[in-house]
A = this chain, B = another copy of it.
């Protein structure tokens, strides 16, 4: 009996695949989670605040990533009527639904780092020393 050329799997898997692609498509890149995490903590931050808070990011990347997040309605951008014009970035109500996901991401990362320092530091690939 020949193996089916493509086990199309159950619909549950197809939906899972699609959901993972969707989520990762929206949150792809090196900085989106950092920006969202910082905004969740800081509530309202200006462009320069974010630039200072997020270590390593440049203005080009910050600008581009904020535009992406705004397009997907995860972050709001409000131009304030102040003397030197300021812009307030904040997480939207919808963006806040990412909190559980960001928490899981953080929890796992912390546990991973602990599992290394706890063990004979066997696992060390993918971990940047800071």
Residues of chain A touching chain B, judged by Cβ–Cβ distance below 8 Å, are: 5-7, 9, 13, 15-26, 30, 33-34, 37-38, 41, 49, 52-55, 71-73, 94, 97-98, 100-102, 104-113, 115, 122-123, 125-128, 130
- A112 CB to closest chain B CB, in angstroms? 6
Copy number in this complex? 2
- CA A18 to CA B73, docked complex, whole Å: 26
Report yes or no: A20 in contact with B33, Cβ–Cβ below 8 A. Answer: yes
> Contacts of A115 on B, CB cut-off 8 Å?
94
> Contacts of A106 on B, CB cut-off 8 Å?
16, 19-20, 23
Report yes or no: A33 in contact with B37, Cβ–Cβ below 8 A. Answer: no
Report yes or no: B25 in contact with A127, Cβ–Cβ below 8 A. Answer: yes
